[in-house]
Structures are given as structure tokens and as C-alpha cells.
Amino acid sequence: MRKHLIDIKSTSVEDIKLVLETASSFKDVLSRDIKKVPALRGKTAVNLFFEPSTRTKTSFELAEKRLSTDVINFAVPTSSVVKGETLYDTIKTIESYGVDFIIIRHQSSGVPHFITSFSQASVINAGDGINEHPTQALLDAFTLIEKKGTVEGLKIAVVGDIFHSRVARSNIFCLRKLGAEVRIVAPNTLVPKGIENEGVQIYNNLEDGISDVDAVMMLRIQNERQSGGFLSSKDEYFRFWGLTSKRLKNAKPDCIVMHPGPMNRGVEIDSEVADSAQSVIHAQVINGLAVRMAVLYLLSTA
């Protein structure tokens, strides 16, 4: 395992499988009465989230605490960033406190990679711009293995705002490396140029795109990044691209439904589907904790 986890594109299949195997052990820990181990006692992690986050930030913080790591939560609105401090100076200041892990989410693609050029700590990308979100892809793969036994050979549809989605990119790389058939299902305006070069099939019709698939991975419509006129309206999007129970019948009967959250109910997914027996959305949240514990543990030994 390398020192940093910046993306899935450059992560080897062996390291992906190592994380997933290690996460399985940590999930056992989470089922105990005392859900804490001393594996990273004496280590310190800082969570730097320059964008809002509920699941990822909470999951990382809890994973750190479950491993007995000391945790610093960096709050941008009350930091010297608002006074004009550069990212470089912020990181160097934080590192002076002896930080071992930097977990960063940033609105600009490439920031985590930039930090690795001067930081002594292990850097984990918690989502950068529209680039990648590696731990989300790992927890999604973990959930697929848990529910389906394997990823290899599965037909998986990734549906929605592919253009702005770092989750989609990381999942495409991860699922393809693990041997899945990946379909991209979205209106033309939300399909990035050149994505077909990643070995995916592109569908511009939801019913066809999810036909006979083993898993449907819905994506959030990123309202904060829709200024370019990618959508005519949310109502129209739901009419053509929202996942409903009727449309889900095009998939295999045992198809599972995934979503990285937060969900826009009534826009990309109907509540009847989100709360159905086929939904594994809450399992993804739980598995995210085990996967992030595994990532922190493995990076500490790199």
C-alpha cells in the first residue's frame, strides 16, 4: 500500500483488494459491544473539509475514533483561510502539530495531489472537485461484494450526473478494475467527452440502460454545479431519468439500488425505491466506516 490515497485510477487491483479484505475484518469490530481498537493510538488525523459533507466527514471522524486516533476537525469559516491564508500555509501550520493523516475535501480538482508534493503526512482524498472520490468507490465495491458475492462479471448501471460526479469517475475505474461491466446512463449533456475510452457503455435512455443489470448506482444531481444549462428543469429530469419502481422492473429481479447520498428524492430517485427492500443505501453508509478504518490502518503501515 502506498503512502497516500489520492485516486482509484492509479491504485493497483492488489491494493484495492487489500483494502476490501481489511475492511471486512474491521466490519467485524463494528459488530462488537466495544467498537474500538487501539490500532492507531498515538496517531493524529486532521479533517479538512472545504465543501459541505455529512456522510464522508462523519464517517472519517468516526473511523479515526474507532481506531483510537486523535482527531482535529478543521472548520474553514473560523480558520485563517477567511483572512486570506494560502492552502500551503494552512497545511504547513497544521503539520507543525505532528499530524499523521490529512483527510481533505476541496472544490478544486487536484488539491490532494498538490498537498502530497510537500506534506510529510499521509493524504487521503475525500473528494476533489469533479475528479475523484476514492473511498466512496471502495465502499461501493465492498457493498457489492457483500450483497452479490463478487464484482467480477456484474452488470452495473451508473445513472445521472456523470459530468460533475467524482463518485462516478472513481467507481468507473474501480468497478472496471474488478471486472464489472459498467454502463453510463445519462442525458447527453451530462456525459463527459471521452468517457467511452474508459471501457464503459453509454446509454441515453434509462429503461434500456438498466435493462438486465445487477445493480443500479444512482447519482445526485449536483445543483451547485448546474449553472451551465445542463438541465431544463428538475421535474423534466425526474420524468425521463428518475428511478421509479416501474422503471426498476427493467433490471434483474434481485437488482440492488445504490446511492452515495445525499439523495434528491423526487429528482433522481423516487422515495418508494429509495426506501425499498432493494435499496442498500444505508448499508453503504455503514460499510463506509469499515472501509475508511481499513484505509487509515493500511496507510499507517506504508
Give residues with Cβ within 8 angstroms of 157, minimum separation 6.
183, 185, 203, 209, 210, 213, 215, 216, 217, 251
Q: Which of 56, 69, 135, 143 is catalytic?
A: 56
83 a catalytic residue: yes
Cα separation, 257 vs 273, whole angstroms: 8
Residue ranges of alpha helices (H) inside 161-217 are: 166-177, 206-209
Q: Which of 27, 57, 106, 133 is catalytic?
A: 133
Cα separation, 243 vs 218, whole angstroms: 8
DSSP conformation letters of 20-77: HHHHHHHHHHHTSSS----TTTT-EEEEEESS--SHHHHHHHHHHHHTT-EEEEE-GG
105 a catalytic residue: yes
183 a catalytic residue: no
Cα separation, 95 vs 289, whole angstroms: 25
Name residue, grid cell 448501471: 157
Q: Which of 2, 3, 17, 55 is catalytic?
A: 55
Residue ranges of alpha helices (H) inside 96-244 are: 111-116, 134-148, 166-177, 206-209, 234-241
Cα of first residue to Cα of last residue in the chain, in angstroms, is 6
Query: 184 - beta bridge partners?
Result: 158, 202
Cα separation, 163 vs 157, whole angstroms: 15
Q: Which of 32, 83, 193, 239 is catalytic?
A: 83
Instruction: Please compute, for residue 173, the number of CA atoms within 13 A of its CA located in the half-sphere on the CB side.
Output: 21
Give residues with Cβ within 8 angstroms of 36, minimum separation 6.
29, 65, 66, 67, 68
Q: Which of 43, 57, 105, 148 is catalytic?
A: 105
Q: For residues 226 and 130, is the Cβ–Cβ distance under 8 A? A: no
301 a catalytic residue: no
Give residues with Cβ within 8 angstroms of 83, minimum separation 6.
none
Just list the catalytic residues.
55-56, 83, 105, 133
